[in-house]
Structure 1
Amino acid sequence: MSAALVLDLSGDDRPGGTAASPSGPGTERPGTPSADPGRPGGTAPGTANAPTVVTAPHTWEGPCTQHYLIDRGPEQVPPPPTEQDAPGWIAALDAVPGGDQLLRLTVQGKGKRTVVLEALHVRVVSRKAPLPWNDYVMGVGCGGEVSTKAFAVDLDAGRPTAVPVGGQRMFSYKTSETDPVILNVAARARAHDVSWYLELAWSSGSERGTIRVDDDGRPFRTSGNLARPAFAYPLGWTEWIDNDVDTEGR
C-alpha cells in the first residue's frame, strides 16, 4: 500500500512561526516512539506495538529533477551523484534540497496485531529567508517527471491539514508485519528556508502513540530556490554550466 503527501513549506504550521520540539526522549531511527503521555497526541503507557518507520529523506521523483542549494561555486562542486549515492554527496557539501524534497516512509507493524496510522502532522522548527546559495540541478534532458502526489498540505495556512488530491483517500491506514505502508511525502518551499519534521500518530488496541520522523535526529531542511544562480551538469559535459545555456549545439 502506498500514499503520498505534498507539503508546501512556504508557511508555518503554528501561529508565531516556531513549533517547539516534543518533550520526552526523542526518536531513535527507525521508528522509535516519542513518549510523552501528558502532551496531546503523546504516547500512552506501553508502546510494544508501535510500528517501525524507515525514512529515505532524499528520494528523487525523477532521475534529473532534484535541485540542491550549496554554498560553493561550481568549480568546487563534484559531478552530481546517482540517487543511491546522494546522501554522502549531500553530507559532504552541506547541501540543502532546493524547492522540493521527496521523502519515502516505510511503515510496518510488529507481530500479528494490526496498527492503525491515524494521522501525519508537520512540525516547523524554524522558518527563515531562503538560502542565498547557488542552485544545482541533478541532471538535464531526462524526460518527464513521474507524479507521486496524492495529498496537498498548504503551510501558508495558519493550521495546515493534509488534503487528498488525485483520488487519494484521507488517513487512516492499517499496517502489520506482513502489510507495510509506504508514505511518499513531497515537501515544497518557495519563499523560505524551513527546518521541519513529521509526527506519525498511531494506535493498536488500547495503545496510542506518536512517532517523530526526522533526518537521523535532525530536522529536515528545505529551502526556496527561486532566482538563485542555477547550474546544470549535462550528459557528456565535464563541468557545471549555467543552467540557461543551450547545450544542443555543442
Structure 2
Amino acid sequence: MVEPTQPPQTEGEQAAGAVRSWWRRNPTLRNWISGVTSAVVVTVISGAVLAWLNLDDKPEGPGEQPASPSAAADGPPFAVDVLYRGGTCSPYLVDADPGSLTSPHTDPNRPLREQPTEDELIAWMHEVKAVPTHGRVVVTVLGGSGKSVVLQDLTVEVVERRPAVDQATVFTAESGCGEGALPRLFDVQLGADRPSLRPYAGKDEAGNVIPAVAFPFTVSEADPEIFEITADPGGCDCTWRLRLRWVADGRSGTLVIDDNGRPFRTAGFAEASARKYTDRISSGDCEGTTWCEDPLP
C-alpha cells in the first residue's frame, strides 16, 4: 500500500511550524496567554455592564452622545509580553564591589557550572541595576480581537548614544553557552549610523534550522508570533526602544516596546581597562567567594 505524500513545505511554513511546536511545548507561555485572554474577556464584559448602567442612570439630554467605549478599545487589538535580559554568557556592567555583590543563583548549594534560571537572572538584574553588554529582547505577540492583525514592521529607535564605558567592572553570571529554546530571529548593531533589524536563521530545540523570515507577520488568538532581538552595542553605551507598526480591521497604529516605560540600555565597555568576574557557581574555579576574578589574558 502506498502512503499518501504531502507537498513539500515552504521556508515560511517550516519556520511557522517550528515556532508553533515550541509554543506547544511551553506551558508557562500558554498559561500567560490564557490569563491575558481571560482578562480581556472580563474587561469587555465589565465595560459593557458599566456602559449599560450609565445609560440607564443618566438619560441622554439634548445633543448628548451615548457613553463612549472604554479607553482599552482604543489600544492595540493584541497583547504583548516583553522579556529583556543580557545575552547568554555575556557579561553585565554593575557598579558594585565584587565582595558585596549578590549572586543571581538564589540557592548557594546549587551544583557547580549550572546556569541561573531566567527568573533569577532578571530579578538579579533589577536588584543590582545590572546593564547588559549584549541585549536580548523576546517579544511575544498574541492577537486578541477575534480577527487577524498584520504586524507590518519592527524598527529600532536609539534614544541616546554615549561612548563605551571605561574602567568598567563586569560580571558574567552564566557559562556553557549554547543554542537557546527559541531561534534568534533578528539582530541589530546599535552603533551603526542607522541601526535596523536584520533577520537571520536560527535553530529550534531539536536542532532544526529555522530560516530567516522578514516582516510582515500575521497574528491571531490561535496563532501568536515570538520575536527575539539580539542587540550588539559595538562601541557605544546606548539606550534604545522598538516600534511595532500594525494594521487590523481598518485601524492602524504604532506600539512602543521598551523596558517597562524606560528605554532598554545596552552598553559596550573598554576591554583593556575592565576588571572581569564570573559567578563561582557558573565558573567552579574558586572557593570562599561569590565572584571569581577572571585571570588576565
TM-score (norm 1): 0.71
Partners of 1:115 and 1:175 within 8 A in 2? yes
**Greater radius of gyration (CA):** 2
- Identify the structure with bigger relative contact order (alpha carbons < 8 Å, sequence gap 6+): 1
The one-character-per-residue Cα deviations of 1:118-175 (angstroms, maximum 9, x if unpaired) are 00011111011223431100133x2534483333434444333333323312100000
Q: What is the match of residue 28 of structure 1?
A: none
Q: What is the match of residue 294 of structure 2?
A: 243
Partners of 2:185 and 2:229 within 8 A in 1? no
For residues 60-99 of structure 1, the aligned pairs below 5 Å read 62=88, 65-81=89-105, 82=116, 83-98=118-133
Instruction: Give the Cα–Cα distance (whole angstroms) in 1 for the partners of residues 191 and 219 of structure 2.
Output: 31
Q: What is the match of residue 66 of structure 2?
A: none
Q: Percent identity?
A: 29
In structure 2, stretches of 5+ residues that fail to align are: 1-15, 21-72, 106-115, 202-210
Q: What is the match of residue 219 of structure 1?
A: 263
Query: Cα 1:104–1:231, aligned 2, differ >3 Å: closer, same or farther?
Result: same
Q: Residue 50 in 1 paired to residue 77 in 2?
A: yes
Runs of 4+ in 1 over 4 A off after TM superposition: none
More helix by share: 2
Partners of 2:189 and 2:233 within 8 A in 1? no
Partners of 1:61 and 1:145 within 8 A in 2? no
For residues 105-116 of structure 1, the aligned pairs below 5 Å read 105-116=139-150
Aligned-CA RMSD value? 2.5
More strand by share: 1
SS in 2 for 1:203: strand
Q: What is the match of residue 279 of structure 2?
A: 233
Instruction: Give the Cα–Cα distance (whole angstroms) in 2 for the partners of residues 176 and 93 of structure 1.
Output: 38
Deviates more, 1:168-177 or 1:226-235: 226-235
Instruction: Give the Cα–Cα distance (whole angstroms) in 2 for the partners of residues 204 and 56 of structure 1.
Output: 25
The one-character-per-residue Cα deviations of 1:208-239 (angstroms, maximum 9, x if unpaired) are 01111011111110000341211012334432
For residues 7-156 of structure 1, the aligned pairs below 5 Å read 47=74, 50-58=77-85, 62=88, 65-81=89-105, 82=116, 83-98=118-133, 100-132=134-166, 133-140=168-175, 142-146=176-180, 148-156=183-191
Instruction: Give the Cα–Cα distance (whole angstroms) in 1 for the partners of residues 137 and 263 of structure 2.
Output: 13
Q: Residue 162 in 1 paired to residue 197 in 2?
A: yes
In structure 1, stretches of 5+ residues that fail to align are: 4-45
Equivalent pairs counted in the alignment come to: 199
Partners of 1:49 and 1:207 within 8 A in 2? no
Instruction: Give the Cα–Cα distance (whole angstroms) in 1 for the partners of residues 213 and 296 of structure 2.
Output: 43
Query: Cα 1:49–1:96, aligned 2, differ >3 Å: closer, same or farther?
Result: closer
